[in-house]
Amino acid sequence: MNVRQLEVFRAVIAFGGVANAATNLGISQPAISRMIKHTEANLGFQLFERMGRRLHPTDEAQRLYEEIDPLFASINSVQDRIDDIRDANAGRLRIVATPGLAHTIVPQALKRLLEVRPNVQVSLDIRRRENVVQKTKNNSADIGLAVTASEQQDLALHQIQMGKMVCIIPEGHPLEELDTISPKDLKAYPFIMMTRGSTLGNLIVKAFEDVGEDVKWSIETSYSASACTFVRNGFGVALVDEYVNRQGNIQGLVVKPFTPTIELTAYLCYSTLKPLSNLSKLFIESVRETLPQ
């Protein structure tokens, strides 16, 4: 496969079909279809199956896409850098962060930054912790911020703040009378669980196991904000990271301390494979100045 074949193949999956791929690549739909057929002939296996009027990637195509997508992310990053050099008077900062930090620490730090660099362009991508690490490592982002990050090769990791998980319940809930919520207190109520196998999910399971309790859940979700929405709409109670509480969007909810304490650490990270730009250094400084000492 040559680079153009890879580009066309990736575009069909990334943009959700031949028509959208053709629009984004600036070529005709028949040209896309011919390229896909030629690529399949070269590879010796099928990349797409037609279901109705749409093409759906095969398992083989999905695995191939996962291999080449980081390559194109790096290529796009190179183009972004070229654009940044051309527009040096303004500059661009690419940030990727988990939701809680994206809605609390990041805006506060950006306010300080933009006071001294008002012409800076900022791109903020909100992702899960795993995606924050990946996008920072492959240079799709200059700075990453995540809760409960872990040591990674070629990644600088700096602790910026300590926090913990808290219990979220609806206003008027029977648990509102308690000062602190424990796993035993939650047994009688439907429990909204952070996705099993995720970092937060594993921390919840361990906290329950430490006091001899099993986690019995009714709904699982990847994001604390989504868990709060379920609680607000009467689906049960949840344990979430405390940054949700700091966003100030908890109308109709009550936040309670949880024991045993589930500690969380907020981290800032960046790739060690390239020098930090002056703009990135300025943002990091703004983050540190924003946080309480």
Instruction: Measure the CA angle with vertex 286, ends 284 and 289; round to 5°.
Output: 115
Element (DSSP H or E) covering residue 205: helix 199-210
Residue 72 buriedness (CB in 10 A; 0-12 / 13-18 / 19+): middle
What pTM value is reported for the model? 0.64
pLDDT value, residue 89: 47
Residues 133 and 145: their CA atoms lie apart, in Å, by 9
- 218 touches 191 (CB < 8 A): yes
Helix%, strand%, coil% for the chain, nearest 5: 45, 25, 30
Q: Strand 121-126 relative to strand 54-57: parallel, antiparallel, unpaired?
A: unpaired
* pLDDT for position 80: 67
Question: Residue 225: how many CB atoms within 10 A of its CB?
Answer: 19
At 51, give phi and psi (nearest 5°): -125, 105
What does each of the 293 residues of the chain score in pLDDT, given as a tens digit?
788 888 888 888 888 888 888 888 899 988 988 988 988 888 888 888 888 777 888 888 888 888 888 887 777 776 766 665 554 446 789 999 998 899 889 999 999 999 888 888 999 999 888 889 889 988 899 999 998 867 788 899 999 988 899 999 999 999 999 999 999 999 999 999 999 888 889 999 999 999 999 999 999 998 888 999 999 999 999 999 888 767 666 788 999 999 999 999 899 999 999 888 888 999 999 999 988 65
Q: Which domains does the chain have, with CATH numbers?
A: 3-79 (1.10.10.10), 83-160+266-290 (3.40.190.10), 161-265 (3.40.190.290)
Cα(51)–Cα(85) distance, rounded to whole angstroms? 45
- Whether a cis peptide bond, with omega within 30° of 0, leads into 118 is no
Among candidates 272, 273, 264, 275, which has minimal Cα distance to 129? 264
Q: How far apart are the first and last CA of the chain?
A: 54
